[in-house]
Structures are given as C-alpha cells and as structure tokens.
Chain A
Amino acid sequence: MLTRPPATLVLADGTAFDGYAAGFLPEGGLTMGEFVFNTSLAGYQEIITDPSYAGQVITFTYPHIGNYGVTPLDDEAARPWCRGVVVRDLSPVASNWRSVGELEDYLIAHEVPAIVGLDTRRLTRHLRAHGALPGAFGHGAFDDVAAAAARATGTDNTDYVSSVSTSTRYSRGEGQRHVVAYDFGIKTTMVDQLAARFRVTVVPAATTAAEVLEMAPDGVMLSNGPGDPAALSGLVEQISQLIGVVPIFGICLGHQLLGVALGGRTFKLPFGHHGGNHPVKDLATGRIEITAQNHNYALAADSLERVHVSHVNLNDGVIEGIASPSTRCFSVQYHPEAGPGPHDARYLFDRFAALMEND
C-alpha cells in the first residue's frame, strides 16, 4: 500500500478521504465524476464495463475487489465508461481459472483511475445520507483535488447516451423473431439474452422510429443506458412513434424513456439503486425476484395514468416495472439480463417473446 502514491478523494460538499492512487494514473492526478456506491459482492468487471456508469465514479462497498481477475468474457461493453473506481482493498493477485489478467492491469489498460485504501464504508454512509454527490479524486495536490471537487458536476440534464451508443448497426442471433434493440448503452449480457431467443439488430440511439420500422421488427428493445432521462427528449419522441405499432420491452433507462413516452415523469433518487440484492415483487404473480439494479432516476408513481405498475421495489416502493397491455409495451427498471446479478428475472425475455407471439 505504502508504495502507491498517496491520493485524496473530496466530495463537492468538502468531505475528504485519504487513500492511494491505483489503476491508471492520469496526468495531473485528477478525476472528476458523480460518486455512487454499488453493493454487489462480485461482478466488478461487469459493473466497471456497464455503460450506464458513464460520468460516474463507482464505490465498491465490498472491500476485496479484483480477487478473481478479469476475462474478456465478463465485459459488458468494449470499454469501461465509468470515470473511476473506489476500492478499499484491491487484490494483489488474481485467482480463478477463468482469469486472463489482473484487475489493476485492466484498469491501467483502459485508463480507469482508481483510489484505494480509504474508508469506503464512511464514503457509502455519506452518500446514503447526502445522496449521490459530484466530487474528485487523485494523487494531485489536495488543494487541486478539492478545487476540482467544487466544480465537478453530477449527471443531471446531461446526455451521456450519445457518447456510449454504438455508431453502427450490428446483428446477433438466429431466432424466428426479429428484435431491434436500441443501444442507449446496451450491456453485452442483454444482447446475449436477446440473441439466445431472437434475431437481434442493435441500432444506434440516434436511429429514428421510421428507420426502426423499416427493419420490420417483431419487437423493439429499449436498452439500459447512462444518465438523466430528462435530457433525452429526442429519444422519447421516437419511442412515442413506436408505441402501439410494435411490442416494446424496456430495461432501466429504456424503462424510464418508455414511461415518459407513455406520459410519465422521472425524478432522481437520493443515491439510486446499485447492487444485486434488491427485492422486487411482480404484482401479477406475487412472486419476489432478487434483482440487479443500476439506476439513479426512476418513474414517479403519481405520473402514470396510461399504464399500470407491474413491479415494485420492496425496499422503498420505487416503481420497478410498468405495462401497457393495450399497446403491448412493458418495461422494468431493474436488469433482468443480470450480468452481474441474479437470474431470477430472465423470464421477462420470454414474456417479451410471448408478447410477439400474440402479434
């Protein structure tokens, strides 16, 4: 530990933490972003590569990160989009038959800065109490880090989707049904789950509804993605044109955008849901699913008139799913594809298939 450069982490409210710089060491020793925490015990590589973290610094609440190394098989995107990671104990070795390298080397290769050796539980409790906060960290001089923290911004009203979305279409899978998947920051596991059932064409976020319909899809997938849905009114417009025309399944950001297109409104949760243990109840069946989650925004319950709520979070009552049977749309706030996280909700991809069968 002592051989690493000392570093500090400062939040926008001035709260400071001592740690050490690890991973990629940026010139100037400064990294800014919005700090959030994720409570998953495993799955760090999937989390780091989840494009939904664009603009954010991920604090891992589990202290040991990097234990089982990294493998290209666990990448959720071609590269990480998060701004940085905060870890208490970065593993000195990688031990797992699947591993091809160590996490720290991976962070360096992908230019992801990290800060390690700090009181991550104190940071987590601070974020819990004060909500996700902008801030900065690095091995730069304390005053520089503090100044950077003061000018760091959060994710509100910022469009991160256009930067993480694919620039070109690509196809996967060989199913009978054809699904067009909007890439707002789509995770590889989501594509895999679709491709296991359908012929899927992943399209850039900028694809218009008309262009989608030209591809004669049996269904449209609205993927997960980073940032504030309020900054994405263009996407909502396109989605509105698809509603009622083709079955739609939305996940995470896709769920929020669908909700907005159906007349709903979003709001920002204090510190969001980031982890793999959130209980969600399917109101139709009464069954509880343990879900993977990664979102800071959610649909406001009082804003939904044209749809019914299908799933709720049992921890805090947040809307986790909506459905509009008349227009053959449904969506969930959580991540049924998992990766990382429990597989409890993968049935939703079959529900999507069933929706198309009734077409």
Chain B
Amino acid sequence: MPRRDDLTTIMVIGSGPIVIGQACEFDYSGTQACQVLREEGYRVVLVNSNPATIMTDPATADVTYVEPLDAEVIEDILERERPDALLPTLGGQTALNLTMQLVERGVLERLGVEVIGARPEAIATAENRELFKAAMADIGLAVPESGFAHDVAEAVVIAERIGWPIIVRPSYILGGAGTGIAHGFEEFRRLAAEGLAASPIGEILVEKSIAGWKEYELEVMRDRADNCVIICSIENVDPMGVHTGDSITVAPAQTLSDVEYQAMRDDAFAVLRRVGVETGGSNVQFAVNPTTGERLVIEMNPRVSRSSALASKATGFPIAKIAARLAVGYSLDEIRNDITKVTPASFEPVIDYVVTKIPRWAFEKLPGASSTLGTRMQSVGEVMAIGRNFAESLQKAVRSLEQGRAGFALGRDEEFATLSDEALMARCVTATPERLFALHSALLRGVTVEELARQTRIDPWFLAQMDEIVSVERNLLEGIDLAGLDRRAWLAIKRLGFTDTQIAHLCDAEAADVTAWRRRAGANTVFKTVDTCAAEFEATTPYHYSTYDDTSEVVTSSRDRVIILGSGPNRIGQGIEFDYCCVHASYALSAMGYETVMVNCNPETVSTDYSTSDRLYFEPLTPEDVAAVIEAEQEACRDGARVAGVIVSLGGQTPLKLSHSLDPAIILGTPVASIDAAEDRERWSAICQRLGLRQPPGDVALTLDGARAVVSRIGYPVLVRPSYVLGGRAMEIVYDDESLARVMNNLTSVHGALAREGGVSATRPILIDSFLEDAIEVDVDAIRDATGDLYIAGVMEHVEEAGVHSGDSACALPPQTLSAPVLAALDDYTARIANELGVVGLINVQYAVKDEEVFVLEANPRASRTVPFVAKATGVSVAQVAVRVMLGETLGQLRASGDVPATTPQPGYVSVKEAVLPFSRFPDVDTVLGPEMRSTGEVMGVGESFGIAFAKAQLAAGTGLPDTGQVFLSLADRDKDHGLDLARQLSELGFTLAATVGTAGFLRAHGVKVATLVGKVGLADLGVDAVSLIASGDVQLVVNTPSGKGAHADGAQIRHASIVHGVPCLTTLNAGLAAAKGIADTRARGWRVASLQDLHR
C-alpha cells in the first residue's frame, strides 16, 4: 500500500504546554511526524501553543501556528489553510480531544478534512470508558467490574454493588487527573464529586480496585493492511494502584512466561482491531493477577503516548515516525528499519539489555501536597537508563535522577536508619518517591525478599535483583581489599551498576583509587549499541549505553566532534527549554561540519532521538559517566581528529554542575570560572560595584539573629533565599518579623526545607535582599562573542511584578512600558556584565526597574529558559547563533552571512509568554505566585497588541478570559489603589463585580459599583460565602492578591475553590490589569491567527 497521493496538505496538532501527564514526549513524536511527512512531500501545517518545542521551530513544518489549542482557533486555521487531512494521534490527549470537538462541531466535515491515523469512532471507543467496556465484552476480554455514574448518587449505587476498594476515574482525562481509590463511603463521595468535576463530560467510572496486581503495557502498531506488531512490552515494578506515569517501569517484561506473553499479545491485537485503530501506534494496558494469571484489560490509548516515547528510546524503533508514515498509506513492510537499513519495519524489536524508567517528582516545591502516589499522576519528569541487566539499569536510573544519590545502594540511609522495623515496612508498603530507598534500607537490614514481596506486592523477581545489589553492597561495607580484586571480581561488582564513586563511598576509599585499581585489573567501561535486533543485524545508528563487558562498539572516525551534555529529567525549573537548546546545538554543529555527540538520560526528549545527533549516549549525567563518554570519544578519534570540546552551558544546571569535573580546556564558550563568579554572591556584588551597577541592598545570614541584623539595616520587605538552588527553591518574600522567624527557622532547621540539600553553612548561607515592591522585572537574553561584540537577542518585560519567579511570570516581548532611557540602560548594563564575565555565548540578566531606575538582580552566563521564546518571538535562531559563537565564529561573520540581523528585530507584533502551573493536580497547594518557581510549562500568545497576545496566552494556558459575567475581586491592602483602576476598567467592560468586604468598601467609597458582597468563608453574616460563590458558577474570573504568606486562610480557600471549579484565578494585580486590557482589545479588534513564517517574513 503506497503513499497516498490524494493528500497534499496535512495538519498536525501538538500537545500544548508541558503539564503533568503531557511533556516533551509529544514534542519528540510531533517533531518526528512533521519531519517524516515533509520528507514524504506533504505540506505540513502545525498548530501548537508551546514555544519551547522543536516542533514549533519554523523549519520543522511548512506552516507553524503558535496559537492556543482551542477548537475555535483551530477552525480559523483550518479555514485559512484548508488541509486535506488532520493527524491527531501524535499530540497526546490534547490533540485527540480537540479533534473530537472539531468533529462534533461539524467543522471537519464542512471543510472536507479527513482524520487520519485514528478514525473519530475509534477515538470515541477507546476514550469513552462505557463504549470501551462494551467493545471489550464483544471480543470476550475481561475488564475490571465497574459502572459509570453522572452524579454522586448514581455512583454510590454502583459502589454498593461492587464493594471496596473502589477506584474512581473521570472520563476523558489525561494523566489520571481526578482519579483516586476509596475504601469507604465518605472518601468515595468526595472522590466521586471531584472526579465528576474533573471530567469534561461530567462522567466517572466507578471500578473495583485491583491494586496489587501486576501491571503491564504493550506498545502496538497496526497498518492499513491489518499487519500488527508489538514494539515493546513494559512491566511495572510498582503494582497496580500507582499511575503508570508514576511507576518505576522496566522493559521488556521480566516475569511473564512466553505462554502468558503471547496470550497478552493476541489480546492487544484484538483490542486494536475492535477499537478500530486503523494505523499507527497505540498502547494497551493489562493487569495480571499474580497468583492465578487472570488477565484484565485496563485501558488503551489510540495514539502515541509517553510510553511509546519510552518504548522508542528503549528499543530504537521510532514509533511516531513509523506511525506518521502508516497514516499516509504505507504498510509496515514498505518502511525500512532506520537502524539496520536493510530490514523492514514489519518486525518486533528484540533487545539484549534492560531498560528502567524512574519518574521524577517535585513535591519539595509544592508544600502541602501529599507525596503518596496513587492513580493520579504527579511526577513532572522521568529518567531512563539502559544496562545489560536490571540491577545495572536500576542503579544507573537512580543516579540519573540527580537527587544526590549516586546509586540504589549507598549504605546506611539516615532517612530510614532510625525507623522501627514496622515503620520502615510501612514506608515500603506506601508508594512514595522514596519507597525504592525504603526497600533498599529494608533489604540492607535483612528483611527477606519473600516478606517484602508479601507486604508490598512488588514482584519478588525485582526484589531479588535489588537484594543481589545489596549483598554486594554488604560485602563492600564489610571491607574488601579493592586493590587485590581481579577482573572477574571487578566485573561482578560493576555489572550490578555500582559506580567507582559509590564503591569508594561504601568502602571509605578515594574514587580515583577505585578507578585506578579497577582499570589495572582490566575491568573497563564498554559501550554497547541499541539496535532493535539484539545484534542479529549490523546497526548503522550509533546509539550507545555503557556496561561492563568485553568489547566496545564505538566506531572510530576521522572528524572532529563536539559533545553536548543534556539537561536530564524534566523538573520544575529545568525542562524542555534546555532540551531545545541542546538540540539546536546539535543542528548548528552539524551544519558546521562537526560530528555531534549527545549525552542525556531523559527518554521524553528530542535530544535523545538517535537521529538528532551523530551519536547518542543514553547515560546518566554524572561526572563518572560523562568522563567515560569523553574518553570513549577520544579513543574513537583517528587520523588526527579530536574532541573539539564539550558544551555545558545549554542544558541548565545539570551540565553546569558537571563542568567542575571536566578539564577546563575542553569546555566550550564562557569559562566555568565566570559562571561561578556570577553564582557567588560576594564576587558578583564586587563585579556590580566595579561596573557601577545598582543591586538591591542585601547581605548573607546563617541564623535568625543574623537575618534580623540584616533587616535592621535594609528594612522590610526582604527576599529570603538559600544559595545554590534552582528555580527559586525555598525562596520567600518577607514583610514582618514574625514571617522572618518562620522562614529562617524553616530554612535552618535540620528537618526544614533544605534538610535533604545539605542545609545551611558558611559556604551555603541564606541570602537576604531588599525586596523592591512594585518594581517591573525584566529579562534580557544576549549573545557575546570572543571579540566582545554583543547581540541583544530579546528584552522581556514581566507582567507580574518583581518577586514572582521569572519562570512563573508572564512576560512580553517587546517590552510594553519601559522608557527609551531604561531600555538603553538595559542594553548597556548587559554588555558591561557580559564583557566583565568574558562571556562567549549566551547570557541572561534579570533586572528590576523601579521609578526609572534599573537594578541588577542576577546574571546567568548560560542558556536561559527564555531562549526558545525569544527565538520564536524574533525569528532569530538564538541557540544556534550562540553555539557558532562558542565554536569561534564572530557575530560580525554571522551578521554578514545573515544568520544574525544587523540590529535586534523590533517586531510589529507582541509575543506574550505565559507560565502553566500544575495546581489542578495538587488541590492542597496554594496557588499564589511567589519567588519559588512552580510552573511546569509555558505557552505563547502572539497578537497585534499586548492585550490580544496576553488574552491568547491565557486561553492557551487553559484559563481563557471571559467576555461577560462577574469578576470577583479580593485584594490585599497594598493593591487597593491600583485595584481601583482594575475595577473601573472591568465595570466599563460591562462586568459586574463581586468583592470581599474590605475590597468592596474601598471600591464603593471610590464610586465603583459592587454587585455582590462576599463575606468570610463559612460566615454568611456579611454576604455570600466566597467558596459557595465560586462553586455556584456565578463568577467567571477571580482576582485574588494575597498580602503575604501564612494565616491567609480565606485567600487560600478562594484560590483552592477556583482551581476545583475551573474558574480562572489571577493572583497578582498586574495580571488582572493585563487581563482587562486583553478583554478590551479582543472585543475591539478581534483575533487573527498568524503563522510564524508570516510573522518572521
């Protein structure tokens, strides 16, 4: 079945901002799809609101719309572009849901757009649990006993029939939002109500819980000729009951006999055929009763998914790429296997290694959220590790997490050492991010595999593997003559995944000695290849992982190469933006003629697509692992070729931290010493002083008394933060003595916020700076070359005032309110700082502007989070320019070649970046924005005015602004003056106002009409209760600005209610003012969609 020639233009829908449950994996799949479809000669129209993606690079698709993923907006784009087909299966749940909305509105039918990949009926069958259940009954497959409910009463009737425990799952949701397990009626009623609210169709599945069963997933592909293949089987270490996105998972399945596996495979094909997925990739999840083998179908996704990205990286079989080809008519046997080049894609990959995925959570940034894992996904990222056995891959995965653990086995663990046996077992039984380490402590304490398996329901096979690691750990702890070990003995240790650092820690030796002894014995790191076929055929794609075996497979070459260190797992504060930069580095270096070498351990990303760089090392980003890669690359140089350098400044903090373990001569771009100077408070202050730049006054303190002394000099409010942390970790704004005491006690106590991060010390003091109230925060991204020439890439004015973390703040490019002298000062200061630091490459400087005066807040001589946004907003490939400069080209040359404009573009449109926050996942977390970053992703809105761009960005972020209705204002005293402006503007726009007593009194005193008076939460004496008001649906927008942190119970409840009921809630006055402008501009001018290619023209 050849390529379909009846199609010319195909629309691809992306997945929007990074949120929990939908992350970089859809940039990976979407980018592959766009590339493949263009290779096949189709015109590709892409829609995605996320500017930090590779897929939204103007070069990835023919036409790129960075517009909100909203049915009306897509309809506009469809009208303009008139594609022949829409491919919805590569943009996650978002793309599927949008497609279904377009189908329901009749848009696709009216415009003659064919849905390819999965038919709407198939999507409906897979996504609607009632239809799915019926479909499974048709083909004789069992699903867990259940029923659907549309209100709580109906749910209770079903619950009475099924019996406890019961799991509640809302229909049409992603990542399990609103899902939970109930053991009794009270809990059940609450979960049912939440689930009904979370489901866009107000429906929940009430289902018998099968917690404790084994969980499996099969990745399936099907083509138009009905050929079906399994790409990968995945087994969860955590049994049923923990969302698969929050589970430690392993590929391939380890504890299924072939008899069971083949039966499951037959079932998976039957599911695909019955649901009607015609082409592409899907996954089918199964639960298996560990004592009887009984098998139930849990769910299927008729699209590529997080698991398919993992499966692609785990096997080398690019599911999304193949899915895109299948969607345009090819059959599997007509597609070549990328890796072998000689065999077809119609096969089932086999592997000769083990892959382990461990999720990464961010509970430390979400105070109030319980870290117990369940059926609602809470992780923000994941790592994958490849080893020749499970033990090796597990230990590699643990160190890939970058959470201070050099492996699974580290000897006595203070967190668990003091627990009683019962308390430790409880930590093993309850799934949390730390459970794996509780298991380690239990095994080290001598708890048997059988006992742990019985209590935790984790398969004994996995526990026995962990126990093997622990038995070697015990030997090492007891003392071993490392210097006397022979090769066999070293291999026995190293093959279980122990690093030299870990061995040194356990044996109280020096890591360098351990390495020397090991090498002397002849036990060396080797690199094997991921080849889809367990070495049956020769692989042409150098996709490597390290292990301890006889021979290495890295092929020598005679070209200079550059090694790019990636950014590791997604976390809050370090996500896709940095992967974007690393991928661009690879593109730029390739164009310059270098061989590119990527090192990363995040399976979701484009950087770990083996086709992005010449060689991919899927390895943990630790000094030891990276050193082994560098050495392997040096050894693979022939004919005078060399490792031209290592790029550490594009992947966020992860590679920067590694730079200290590298030879400074090998690091490209800005010297590490300069990066350190900018991080070190004293040296940085000295630089500012030398350059005559103003900083907010401040000092360091180790204790509460010290902090009080600082405050007595500089006055309140102050910004209090630990040093050497990322994403504003544990940072707070403090307005009074009481809060200062609370914050300092929390930071300095042994059980406080920094307990796991090394606490406070003279080298890691608490920083206390004067906080500039009502200042405008500005971000500047710039590139400096080795000759001192500077290119200002972008100046971004934040919407929220200084004090809200820049990653959580909306910002506009170009700046909207800054005067010409201020802008000139920003350029000048940036140039002076870059010169002083000797920057070669990117630098980001953050400023606060107050009363026309510019204060320098901080400088980061490396890629910042805003690089992709600036690139999309200005049409300049900022990251690539930076890399060329790092390799020695000058901005002058790049201007001459047209890669850099003569002057910074002054676009005739406004781009607004807005942060997307994960609060709907964590209903107990306060949504007030502050200095600690908590957003998981970002969107971009583009418009002819700031208001329109802001309104688009809000819609894209999932909190579309209302056009009519009631706005509820609840303002802190210091916001009331400006709040009056906001209230007047909203009234003029025709909104009625509701306000809390204090706010209402102030507004009424200034002649603004307040329709609804809102009383204290729970007290009906002065007016309607705030929470009931929000729950009633009579409020379309909430503006709640808190006056500080602590006992602001009402504010917190208002914000919580807004999250639960899906009412947009703005927590800063500036955002409120921006929203009013957005509503006004939208009404006055309407929206137009525009492609990046048009905007940049």
Contact = CB atoms under 8 A, between A and B. Distances in A.
Interface of A: 1-2, 6, 17-18, 37, 39-43, 45-46, 61-64, 67-68, 71, 73-74, 88-89, 91-93, 95-98, 117-122, 124-125, 128, 275-279, 281, 286-288, 290, 314-316, 338-343
Given A62-B352, A92-B468, A95-B461, A124 B535 contact: yes
B255 A41 contact: no
Interface string B547-584: 00111000000000000000000000000000000000
B449 A93 contact: yes
B259 A315 contact: no
Contacts of B388: 63, 88-89, 121
A128 B536 contact: yes
Contacts of B489: 2
B237 to A, nearest CB: 12
A287 B468 CA distance: 45
Nearest to A95: B461
B689 interface: no
B488 interface: yes
13 contacts: A2-B492, A61-B350, A67-B254, A68-B257, A68-B461, A89-B388, A91-B461, A125-B551, A277-B348, A314-B333, A340-B259, A341-B258, A342-B348
B536 A290 contact: no
Contact of A98 (B257, B265, B353, B487): B257
Contacts of B549: 119, 121-122
Contact of A64 (B256, B262, B389, B536): B389
Interface in B343-367: 343-344, 346-354
B691 interface: no
Given A41-B252, A92-B468, A95-B459, A6 B550 contact: no
Contacts of B229: 290
Contacts of A67: 254-255, 461
B258 A93 contact: no
B534 A122 contact: no
Nearest to B269: A344
Interface stretch (B32-40, B120-128, B152-160, B290-298): B290-298
> Which 8 pairs from chain A and chain B are nearest by CB?
A43-B258, A340-B258, A61-B534, A95-B461, A119-B549, A119-B550, A42-B258, A277-B348
B351 A279 contact: no
A290 B348 contact: yes
B350 A40 contact: yes
Nearest to A41: B252
Given A1-B492, A93-B461, A95-B459, A279 B346 contact: yes
Contacts of A96: 255-257, 260
A278 B343 CA distance: 10
Contacts of B534: 39, 61-62, 121, 124, 275
A6 B262 CA distance: 36
B351 A62 contact: yes
A117 B389 CA distance: 11
B1063 to A, nearest CB: 50
Nearest to B291: A97
B460 A120 contact: no
B739 interface: no
Nearest to A61: B534
A342 B460 contact: no
A311 B351 CA distance: 26
Contacts of A40: 258, 350
Given A88-B389, A278-B347, A64 B535 contact: no
Contacts of A316: 343
B383 interface: no
B226 interface: yes
B332 interface: yes
A89 B535 CA distance: 17
Tell me if B's interface is mostly helix, strand, loop or mixed.
loop
A339 B263 CA distance: 11
Interface residues of B, number: 61
Contacts of A128: 535-538
Contacts of A314: 333, 343-344, 346-347
B26 interface: no
A92 B266 contact: no
Contacts of A340: 258-259, 262
A97 B259 contact: no
A93 B347 contact: no
B390 interface: yes
B528 interface: yes
B823 interface: no
B352 A98 contact: no
Nearest to A19: B488
A37 B262 CA distance: 21
Contacts of A278: 347
A63 B259 contact: no
B536 to A, nearest CB: 6
Nearest to B290: A97
Interface string B233-268: 100000000000000000011111111111001100
Given A93-B460, A290-B229, A338-B262, A275 B352 contact: no
B894 interface: no
B261 A42 contact: yes
Given A61-B350, A62-B350, A122-B549, A95 B389 contact: no
B516 interface: no
A274 to B, nearest CB: 9
A352 to B, nearest CB: 21
Contacts of A45: 257
A338 B262 CA distance: 9
Nearest to A20: B488
A92 B464 contact: yes
Given A287-B225, A338-B262, A121 B535 contact: yes
Contacts of A342: 262, 265, 348
B227 interface: yes
B24 interface: no
Given A42-B257, A91-B461, A63 B353 contact: yes
B536 A39 contact: yes
B225 A286 contact: yes
B533 interface: yes
- Find the residue from A62, A97, A117, A290 having the highest chain B CB count within 10 A: A97
Contacts of A97: 290-293
A74 B347 contact: no
A338 B261 CA distance: 12
B259 A74 contact: yes
Contacts of B225: 286-288
Contacts of A43: 257-258
Given A279-B346, A286-B225, A340-B262, A74 B257 contact: yes
Contacts of A343: 262, 265-266
Interface string B442-484: 0000000100000000011100100010000000000000000
B523 to A, nearest CB: 11
Contacts of A68: 255-257, 461
Nearest to B387: A63
Contact of A288 (B252, B346, B460, B488): B346
A96 B292 CA distance: 9
Contacts of B259: 73-74, 98, 340
A89 B389 contact: yes
Q: Which of B290, B388, B461, B549 has the most CB of A within 10 A?
A: B461
Contacts of A120: 352
Nearest to A44: B258
B536 A275 contact: yes
A43 B257 CA distance: 6
A41 B536 contact: no
Contacts of B344: 279, 314-315
Contacts of B538: 128
Nearest to B226: A287
Given A67-B254, A98-B293, A343-B266, A93 B464 contact: yes
A120 B551 CA distance: 10
Contacts of A41: 233, 252-253, 261, 350-351
